[in-house]
Structure 1
Amino acid sequence: MSTRFEIRQATPADASAACALLRRSIEVGCKADHAGKPAVLEAWLGNKTAANVATWFSSSSNYAIVAQSPDGTLLGLCLLTQAGKVALCYVLPEALRGGVGRALLDACEQQARAWSIKKLQLHSPPSASAFFERQGFMNAGKDTSCFGMESDLLWKSLDASCEVGASSPGGAARKRFCNCNG
């Protein structure tokens, strides 16, 4: 099912709606990950305030975008740092499987290339990892998030010379993980 939406730059004026989107996506869409455990949920939501979101959207070192429906509803948001980290990528539970997440990631990849970033990385709750893997991210294994929940560390090369299975001049396959950013 395809949902109509536009991708646009996020502004601090979007902070309140974006914060509500983040919180709903985590509380409802990531329920399998926090399993309703109050301590995990509180830690995960702890920095998801309108003031913090406005600060994230205002930072010149971040590329923050939103997916907006024709009626003005925010359906998703994504935040890329200049270090190549996809710090946020969330979609309203009602808008999942409508192309919103893919469109947000595509826009972030375009910005990353404009910034000459060669590799993206992100931490994903396990329930969302398969989505990121379908978008070309490689799962590098388990890690612990800053709020104590197990997450998957994923990365994606934006440099064709570092792709999995890419051959070196001698014909040997490159190693599975390479540090293309240096």
Structure 2
Amino acid sequence: MNASIHISKATAADAGIISRIVERSIRVGCALDHRNDAKIVAAWVHNKTVEHISAWLTDHRLYLNIALLQDKPVGVAMAAISGKVAFCYVQPEWFRRGAGQALVQDLEGWLINQGLRQAQLNSTRTSEAFYRHLGYRPCAQTFEVSGLHAIPMDKGLSPPS
């Protein structure tokens, strides 16, 4: 992991930048998944507004974090107390620099602190190799939601020794 990556819990002041990071990551970084289909993109981003994100930030069952790389906000991720990793988005120009890995590891640490021993997520095709690299494995049959292929994956979590 790159030493210049800083991960912190997102705050209400971050809602706007989180919305912009998520939408741009979806529109540009996930084109393989949505194939530039405007209806699929609209369905994917419809709940990624500042209003939705602001509500998520006040929900004690959710944890949102933000990554700064060279003091610039470059990524965001969210998990739920249920053990579900809801998303991890990184600005496309910052892919493969460790921000996504740091975000997910921070989420996993939060889940472990909540007493969970397993994380689950639904990956896109774009993200499948990334999640496999982090130790996630397919655990159920791929399904389609809003025109996207979703790959259910899970990973056992262990507290640090």
Q: Is the 8 A contact 1:22 1:48 kept in 2?
A: yes
Q: What letter is aligned with 2:42?
A: E
Aligned to 2:77: 78
Does the 8 A contact of 1:3 with 1:98 survive in 2? no
Provide the C-alpha distance between the structure 1 equivalents of 2:158 and 2:97, rounded to a whole number of angstroms.
28
Q: Find the aligned partners of 1:99 and 1:3 in 2 and give their Cα distance.
A: 9
Q: How far is 1:69 from its partner?
A: 3.0
Length-normalised TM-score, structure 1: 0.82
Contact 2:116 / 2:157 at 8 angstroms: preserved in 1?
Answer: yes
Per the alignment, residue 36 of structure 1 pairs with 36
- What TM-score do the two structures reach when normalised by structure 2? 0.92
CA deviations over 1:34-59 (Å, ceiling 9, x no partner):
00111111100111101101111221
* Whole-angstrom distance in 1 between the partners of 2:108 and 2:148: 27
| Amino acid aligned to 2:104 | L
The runs of 4+ residues in structure 1 deviating greater than 4 Å are none
Distance 1:55 1:68 in 2: 22
Matches of 1:41 and 1:133, distance apart in 2: 25
Report the CA distance between 1:124 and its aligned residue: 1.2
**CA RMSD, Structure 1 to Structure 2 (Å):** 1.7
**CA displacement, residues 59-78 of structure 1 (integer Å, 9 cap, x when unaligned):** 1111111001343x311111
Q: Counterparts of 1:113 and 1:69 in 2: how far apart (Å)? A: 25
Q: Which runs of 5+ in 1 are unaligned?
A: 161-182
1:12 is aligned to: 12
Q: Find the structure with the greater CA-based Rg.
A: 1
> For 1:132 and 1:61, how far apart are their aligned partners in 2?
23
Structure of greater relative contact order (alpha carbons < 8 Å, 6+ residues apart): 2
Query: For 2:54 and 2:157, how far apart are their aligned partners in 1?
Result: 29
1:2 Cα offset (Å)? 4.7
- TM-superposed CA distance for 1:8, in Å, is 0.3
Rounded Cα–Cα distance in structure 1 between residues aligned with 2:126 and 2:13: 30
- 8 Å Cα contact 2:122/2:152 also seen in 1: yes
The amino acid of 2:63's aligned partner reads: Y
| Structure 2 gaps, min length 5 | none
SS across alignment from 2:4:
coil
